[in-house]
Amino acid sequence: MKKIISILLSVVLAFSISSVAFAKDEITPVIFVPGYTSSRMFINRGTENEKRIWKVDVADEIIDALKKEIPSILATTGKAVMGDYDALFKTLEPYANEITEYLRINDDGTSKYDVEVYPHSVETTRLDKLDEYGYHPDSDTLKMLRKCTSSKNIYCCTLDWRLGQVDNAKVLNDYVDDVLEATGAKKVSILGVSYGGQVTASYLSLYGGDKVKNAVLHCPALDGSSIIPQLFSDNEIELSWSDLLKLVQTFRYEETDFSQITDIYSPDFLNGFIKAFIDYYLLDLFLNFGSAWDLVPLEQYTELRDKLINDGNHKEIVAKSDKYHFEVAANREKDLKRLQSEGVNISIIAGYGYKLAVDNGMNSDTVIEVNSTTGSVCSELGTTLGAEYISASCGNEKHCHISPDGCIDAATGYLPENTWYVDDMFHGLGTNEKIVSDLLCDLTFAEEGFDVHSNIKYPQFMSSDNAFMGVMCTFSSCAQGYFTPYSTDLTLTNLSKKNSIVIDGITALGAKLGFGYSVNKVLAPGESLTASVFGEVPNADLSTFSIKIDYVTQGEKLNIAETRTQNFRFTNGSLYDEVLADGVDEASSTITNEEVKRDGKIDAKSFFARIGYYLKKLLTYITDIWNVIV
């Protein structure tokens, strides 16, 4: 429960690797700034009345409360189904208050209780000390970093995440000074994730970058998220349950289909329940959190501030959030480029391809919109920027910064040459993907800065290779996401870590290409299949097309038919220096025009799984039409 609520409030869900060599006398300490809600907080710490108020295991406490109150809950369930949640919430109120009461902030921006973040000092938050303490905020990112350097070289800046950017930027500034003093180093490198990325960028804007070598911002909330204004408003919300459930599945490392939740409960009921829960328990709590106000996008801030907190009682909160919005957020692009010119290697990594949690049509990583993370122009999900826009942008630029699916113009972003975009990557979960975690480490530990053209291993637009994507494909002889006349093969890899799959269809959409492969070959977890490519290369340089992969996952109890579509850009010369693999012989034969016969037959289980897949799609289509009609 805690994790889903956290997602809806733009809370960050906690987030092999390439090795990097250093000269022994020039090791740069790395500071990790984790995401929202990551820090442990106490009251009366060090006394006999010490109490940890966060992180408690909220999910277990809620479940225990539900079990204890089952008789009362059953008596109120009928009313809840009808939209009257008060009786249900009053039953759970004592348990909710136990979790939220000690987090409260006064109207003047001070904490209602004497709350201490612990551990926090440099001495207690070096990773080897956190290991002893048994505490790893955003453990996946720390696990990734420890593969790149010694645990004694990694520091974790823990924050009071209730506070806004002005306060926490100062905390980070002091922490940087303490790390430099403790290590004797001249500079640090910083990796910030989501809220931590926002704090890192705010620190750089307010305090400068003379003490920072590399600053890597992973899915940073640079212009907040429109989730917050939506949840602060009086309007009903419509949540993107399908993508939210995928996010929960990915975060929990469970290759399990959670869609049965929405099969049992209607979206209207779930939307109403979540909105009522937020209004009943959390709205007044978060209204005094400076961090929540600094997650409101700049263009929505003034109106929402004047409506909810510009009443004379919240002067300190308003003053600090005004400073952040009008001095920091308003000058984001200028500040980042200035810092780069002063020698700070700043990089941004963003996910895209999902609906925003509040399902407002924006292209996002489910928690933050693409334009809020990167500053880039991005069309609504499922649409493109338009043929004329794309043609003009790719035709007049030295590099084509338009995404293969035509929805993002990276040239318009804060840092066009230093921003990477990963299709199908959920918010904050890049550390679970090999290609993204490699990139994160290489950027964090780089001796010199590099950009999106420096290494074909890291093209500006990549596809997620997370296990929960099921399968992915890449063309030979070039960077991921591209296709050239020298790409004679297509490699398909089973990304699952526990399930075998069978490929039963590869279709090129927008290109006259076919593929030769064995249709009944079972791919074990991590195994790949190579399909020969035949047909015609596209006529136009920089044209785009998609590859649709139909496959069947062989689960423990049931075979499930699934589909994944990836986007590619064809290049016939203009981008060879950037995307063509080393050692490719330009005199080598191109793709064959002769079809390679597919051998084998689809087995019965796979056939019926595919039939079930299309029946489910048809049912969804009919349901959508019915909802429009009624």
User: 373 in a domain, yes or no?
Assistant: no
Q: Could you tell me whether strands 41-43 and 115-117 are parallel, antiparallel, or unpaired per DSSP bridges?
A: antiparallel
Predicted local confidence at residue 21, as pLDDT: 33
Question: Do residues 575 and 595 touch, judged by C-beta distance below 8 A?
Answer: no
How many residues would you count in the chain? 630
CATH of the domain at 144: 3.40.50
pLDDT-wise least confident of 49-58, 243-252, 369-378: 243-252
- Among 222-226, 264-268, 276-280, top mean pLDDT goes to 222-226
Answer with the one of 288, 316, 341 that is the final residue of a domain: 341
Identity of residue 359: D
Alpha helices by DSSP H, 452-495: none
Q: Is the pLDDT of residue 513 over 70?
A: yes
Domain annotation covers residue 333: yes
Question: Is the alpha carbon torsion for 129, 134, 139, 144 positive or negative?
Answer: positive
pLDDT at 489: 92
The average confidence (pLDDT) of the chain is 82
Q: Tens digit of pLDDT for each residue in 555-593?
A: 766 678 889 999 999 988 788 888 888 877 654 544 554
Element (H, E) at 231: helix 227-232
CA distances from 503 to 515, 549, 559, 600, 611 (A): 12, 7, 13, 11, 15
The enclosing domain of 499 has a CATH number of: 2.60.40.10
Residues 216 and 192: their CA atoms lie apart, in Å, by: 6
Pick the more confident residue, 520 or 27. 27
Which ranges of 309-350 would DSSP assign to H, the alpha helix? 315-323, 332-341
Give residue for tokens 């290991």.
131
> Which structure tokens are listed for 94?
């004592």
Residue 587 makes CB contacts below 8 A (sequence gap 6+) with none
Please state, in angstroms and rounded to a whole number, the distance separating the CA atoms of residues 64 and 437. Answer: 37
Task: Please report whether residue 100 resides in a domain.
Answer: no
* Domain end among 290, 312, 341: 341
Residue given tokens 């263009």 in the structure block: 299
Number of folded domains in the chain? 2
Can you tell me the distance from the alpha carbon of 94 to that of 69, in angstroms, rounded to the nearest whole number?
11
Burial class (CB in 10 A: 0-12, 13-18, 19+), 145: buried
Flag whether 277 is in a domain: yes
Q: What is the pLDDT of residue 43?
A: 93
List residues bridging with 592 in a β-sheet: 534
Instruction: Note whether 267 and 385 are within 8 A (CB).
Output: no
Tell me: do 14 and 155 sit in the same domain.
yes
Is residue 399, in this structure, part of any structural domain at all? Answer: no
Is there a cis peptide before residue 143, judged by omega within 30 degrees of 0? no
End position of a domain, from candidates 294, 322, 341: 341
- Show the tokens assigned to 349: 């990594």
Does one domain contain both 337 and 486?
no
Name the residue with tokens 């805690």: 2
DSSP designation for 540: S
Buried-state track 333-370, b at ≥16 Cβ within 10 A, e below 16: eebbeebbeeebbbbbbbbbbbbbbbbbebbbbbbbbb
- Tally of CA atoms within 13 A in the half-sphere of 165 that contains its CB: 35
**347 band by pLDDT with thresholds 50, 70 and 90:** very high
Distance between CA atoms of residues 336 and 342, nearest Å = 10
Q: Is residue 323 over pLDDT 90?
A: yes
Q: Output the pLDDT for position 428.
A: 86
- Is residue 110 in some structural domain? no
Lowest-pLDDT choice from 252-261, 402-411, 439-448: 252-261
Q: What is the pLDDT of residues 111-142, one digit of tens each?
A: 999 999 999 999 999 999 999 999 998 888 99
Give the dihedral sign, CA 436/439/444/450: negative
In a domain, 79, yes or no: no
C-alpha–C-alpha distance, residues 125 and 307, integer Å = 40
Which residue type does 157 have? C
Residue 53 has pLDDT above 60, yes or no: yes
SS in 3 state form for 133-171? HCCCCCHHHHHHHHCCCCHHHEEECCCCCCCCHHHHHHH
Spatial distance between the Cα atoms of 122 and 117, rounded to a whole number of angstroms: 13
In a domain, 353, yes or no: no
Domain that holds residue 571: 470-630
What is residue 256's DSSP assignment?
-
